[in-house]
Amino acid sequence: MQSLRDIRREIKAIGATRQIMLTMKRISSARIRKAQKQMEQGRPFAQKMALMIDNMRRDIENETSPVRQLPDYKFFDASASGCKNAGLLLITADKGLCGAFNAMAIRETLKWIKRNDSVEKYIFVVGKKGRDFLARLKIPRLHIAGEIVGIFPRASYAHASMIFETIRRLTYDNKVCKVDLIYNNFKSMSSQALVSKTFLPFNFEEIPGEEDLSDFIFEPDMLQIFLTLLPRYIGANIYRFLLESQAAELAARMNAMEAAAENAGGIMAGLGVQLNKVRQETITNELTEIISGANALEA
């Protein structure tokens, strides 16, 4: 049986841990408002740019064919490249204590590696958890094309541009012809959804609506503007993925810390009951000894 000192020490230790969990929950709760605001502001911009880029692409293809010979056209048509290698953009967190946030992304990455077992695999990883996991793998034909760590919760468009430049270089060098994406999408404060899809080449069938650019005059011409906007559009999408993952991570950590704090409170309550039982047993034993001693003196 534990002594009163041991139980009190355990209650104190769990209470200190619970306080840390509550503090982390408050920090995540404060940060998620800003992250959610950035994410919501980025969504309309990316969607509107997608409509414009798609419309310009179709108009250019109707007017002239040289666009199909442009290097960036590989982002629209996988058959434009002769390679068969696979690329992946993996976005995880820099820290843990956020429930199954990192585990789900890593588990999906293992499935992706297994599906592409027969080809060269190039992975650009964001976040320390994903980087550390991939660094421990000893899998043939698996290459870390690039990494960015320590950017959350201050992810910026500059980070997205760095990621895109690496992907662009791999595409131009014909090392990859398709880039998949794995990240956690923010749905609500209590729900995050794992996303695993093909990022490049684009699937413009997913874009709702259609942008009408027939009344616009382009200077110098539509093709030049298209080539200028394309990298920015891809960067804007990557930036949106970073913001979505950032907000989802904070929400997952807030929920995980809240659940952990509740569990710690339950453990402390159970230890409190155990403490009272031990105290009562100790008092009962002491009273029994006193009464037994008094009876022995009277006898």
Report CA-CA distances (Å) from 73 to 80, 163, 226, 231, 237. 7, 19, 11, 11, 17
The pLDDT score that the predictor gives to residue 12 is 92
Q: Is the pLDDT of residue 146 over 70?
A: yes
Q: Which uninterrupted H or E stretch holds 84? A: none
pLDDT of residue 205: 61
**In the prediction, which pLDDT does 182 show?**
97
Q: How many CB atoms lie within 10 A of CB 122?
A: 21
Does residue 81 have a pLDDT over 60?
A: no
Where b means 16+ CB within 10 Å and e means fewer, 187-211 reads eeeeebeebeeebbbbeeeeeeeee
Reported as a single tens digit per residue, the pLDDT across 216-258 is 777 777 777 877 888 888 888 899 899 999 999 999 999 999 9
Question: How many Å apart are CA 185 and CA 75, to the nearest integer?
Answer: 23
Residue 213's pLDDT band (boundaries 50, 70, 90)?
Answer: low
Structural domains present in the chain: 45-247 (3.40.1380.10)
Report the distance separating Cα 129 and Cα 96, nearest Å: 8
Contact 122, 143 (CB under 8 A): yes
Mean pLDDT for the stretch of residues 173-198: 88
Question: According to the model, what pLDDT value does residue 62 have?
Answer: 65
Query: For residue 170, what pLDDT is reported?
Result: 86
Structure tokens at 139: 């899998």
Task: Please state the pTM of the whole predicted model.
Answer: 0.83
In this prediction, residue 208 carries a pLDDT of 57
Q: How many helices (H) and strands (E) in the chain?
A: 5, 5
Closest CA to 248 of 157, 181, 162, 152: 152
Write out pLDDT tens, residues 158-170.
Answer: 999 999 999 888 8
- pLDDT tier at 15 (50, 70, 90 boundaries)? very high
Q: What is the DSSP string of 17-60?
A: HHHHHHHHHHHHHHHHHHHHHHHHHHHHHHHHHHHHHHHHHHHH
Among 1-15, 50-64, 92-106, the range scoring the smallest mean pLDDT is 50-64
